[in-house]
C-alpha cells in the first residue's frame, strides 16, 4: 500500500546492506514515520513485545527475520535452539508467531549450518511474499461480500475493531483488504473505526491507513458500535484475528466479543478475516485453550497523544491509586461469527466447514 504516493511493505530488507531488517515503528504512528533498522534477534524480540510491529501475520514475518539475523551471526544447532523459544516468548496469543517459527525451524534443520543463513533469509522472504498473496486472496473473497451488499446509491457501512490492515500484515491486511478492494473498485464504502483502547490501534493505525488510501471513515469510541448498529448504520462487521480454533472460536483484540454480541442482537453480519496460518488446529475450545496476553496496567492508566503545541505527551488518566487490568484479547465463540473470510474462500465458523476448506492442513495436524 502507499504512504503519500510511495509504495511500502511493513517489513523489508535494507537496500544498502542487504541483510538488516527495516520496519515501520507503529508506536510512532500516526504522528511520525520512523523506520528503525533491526540487526539482532534481541532487537526483533523487543520490536515484537513492545509492539513496534504488531498484528498476527506481521509478528510472524518479523520473527522469521529474527531467526535469519541469528543464523547470520551463528548458524549452529545451539543458536537455532536458543533463538526460536526466545522469539516465541514475545507474545502469547497470535498463533502466527509460532507458525512462522516452526516453519523456520523445520526448514533450517534440513540444512547444514553453512547453508542456514541463506536458507533463513529465503524462507523469511517466502513467508512475506506468501502473506501478501494470501491477503490479496482474502481481499478478493471479502470484496464479493461487500459487492453483494452494495446497491445503487447505497453506501456500505463496515465497522472494524483494532487494526487488521496492511500495517498489521506484510501488505494489504486481512479485514481491511476487502475494504481497500471495494474502494478501488468504485464501491461507496465507509468504515466505522473503533478507537480500540487501550493502545488505540483504531484511531492511530486504522484511521491513518484508511486516510492515506482515501477510504471514507469515521472514528468512534469503543462503546458506540452497538448504538450505530441499533440505528441501521452498520451493514457488516469485519475484524481480523490472532487465533482461530479448529471449531471456529476467534481470539481478537479485547472488545471484539462485545461487537459480536451487539451484531447478533441487531442482525448485523459479523465476519472474521484470516489467513489459514492463524488457525490453531490443535485446539477446539477457544475460551478454555487460547492464552490471553496480559499487558502492563500502564497501557490502561495512561494515554499518549500530541499536545496542541505539537509535542508528544503521555498523560495519566486514572486515579493514582486505582489498579488496572489489561487483557489484550478476548474470545468470540463460533456461534456469533457469520463467516470466516480465508484465502480459499468464505466458510462457516465450524469444525466441519474449516476441515472441508483446509483438508490438507486439518489432516496434517491430526497425523
Give the binding site for ligand MRU (CB under 6 A).
Answer: 54-57, 94, 162, 164, 168-169, 173-174, 201, 240-242, 252-253, 328
**Residue 10, exposed/middle/buried by CB under 10 A (0-12, 13-18, 19+)?**
buried
Nearer to ligand MRU, 96 or 107 (CB): 96
Least CB distance from residue 241 to ligand MRU, whole Å? 6
The pairing of strands 6-7 and 279-280 is unpaired
Q: Are 318 and 325 in contact (CB under 8 A)?
A: no
Place of cell 441501521: 232
Nearer to ligand MRU, 56 or 124 (CB): 56
Nearer to ligand MRU, 55 or 75 (CB): 55
Least CB distance from residue 117 to ligand MRU, whole Å? 28
- Residue with the CB atom nearest ligand MRU in the bound state: 240
CB count within 10 Å of CB 267 equals: 8
Q: Is 242 a catalytic residue?
A: yes
Least CB distance from residue 54 to ligand MRU, whole Å? 3
Least CB distance from residue 337 to ligand MRU, whole Å? 14
What are the C-alpha distances in Å from 322 to residues 198, 316, 342? 16, 11, 42
**Residue 287, exposed/middle/buried by CB under 10 A (0-12, 13-18, 19+)?**
middle
Nearer to ligand MRU, 240 or 286 (CB): 240
Nearer to ligand MRU, 62 or 241 (CB): 241
Least CB distance from residue 295 to ligand MRU, whole Å? 8
Catalytic one of 131, 171, 242, 280:
242
Give the residue numbers marked as catalytic: 242
Amino acid at each position: 500500500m502507499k504512504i503519500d504516493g510511495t509504495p511500502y511493505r511493513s517489513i523489508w530488507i535494507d537496500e544498502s546492506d542487504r541483510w538488516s531488517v527495516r520496519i515501520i515503528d507503529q508506536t510512532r504512528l500516526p504522528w511520525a514515520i520512523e523506520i528503525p533498522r533491526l540487526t539482532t534477534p534481541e532487537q526483533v524480540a523487543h520490536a515484537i513485545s513492545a509492539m513496534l510491529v504488531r498484528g498476527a501475520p506481521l509478528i510472524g514475518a518479523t520473527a522469521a527475520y529474527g531467526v535469519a539475523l541469528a543464523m547470520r551471526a551463528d548458524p549452529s544447532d545451539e543458536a537455532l535452539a536458543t533463538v526460536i523459544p526466545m522469539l516465541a516468548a514475545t507474545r502469547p496469543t497470535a498463533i502466527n508467531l509460532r507458525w512462522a517459527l516452526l516453519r523456520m525451524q523445520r526448514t533450517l534443520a534440513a540444512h547444514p549450518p553453512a547453508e542456514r543463513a541463506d536458507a533463513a533469509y529465503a524462507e523469511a522472504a517466502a513467508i512475506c511474499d506468501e502473506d501478501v498473496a494470501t491477503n490479496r486472496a482474502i481481499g478478493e473473497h471479502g470484496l464479493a461480500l461487500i459487492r453483494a451488499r452494495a446497491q445503487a446509491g447505497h453506501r456500505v457501512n463496515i465497522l472494524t475493531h483494532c487494526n487488521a490492515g496492511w500495517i498489521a500484515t506484510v501488505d494489504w491486511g486481512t479485514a481491511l483488504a476487502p475494504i481497500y478492494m471495494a474502494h478501488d473498485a468504485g464501491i461507496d464504502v465507509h468504515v466505522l473505526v473503533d478507537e480500540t483502547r487501550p493502545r488505540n490501534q483504531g484511531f492511530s493505525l486504522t484511521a491513518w491507513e484508511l486516510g492515506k488510501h482515501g477510504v471514507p471513515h469515521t472514528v468512534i469510541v469503543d462503546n458506540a458500535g452497538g448504538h450505530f448498529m441499533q440505528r441501521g448504520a452498520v451493514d457488516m462487521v469485519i475484524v481480523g484475528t490472532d487465533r482461530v480454533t479448529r471449531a471456529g472460536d476467534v481470539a481478537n483484540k479485547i472488545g471484539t466479543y462485545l461487537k459480536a454480541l451487539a451484531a447478533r442482537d441487531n442482525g448485523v453480519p459479523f465476519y472474521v478475516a484470516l489467513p489459514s496460518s492463524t488457525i490453531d488446529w490443535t485446539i477446539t475450545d477457544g475460551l478454555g485453550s487460547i492464552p490471553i496476553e496480559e499487558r502492563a496496567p500502564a497501557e490502561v492508566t495512561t494515554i499518549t497523544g500530541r499536545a496542541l503545541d505539537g509535542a508528544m505527551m503521555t498523560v495519566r488518566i486514572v486515579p493514582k491509586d486505582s489498579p488496572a487490568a489489561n487483557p489484550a484479547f478476548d474470545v468470540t465463540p463460533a456461534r456469533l461469527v457469520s463467516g470466516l473470510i480465508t484465502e480459499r474462500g468464505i466458510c462457516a465458523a465450524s469444525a466441519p466447514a474449516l476441515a472441508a476448506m483446509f483438508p490438507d492442513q486439518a489432516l496434517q495436524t491430526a497425523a
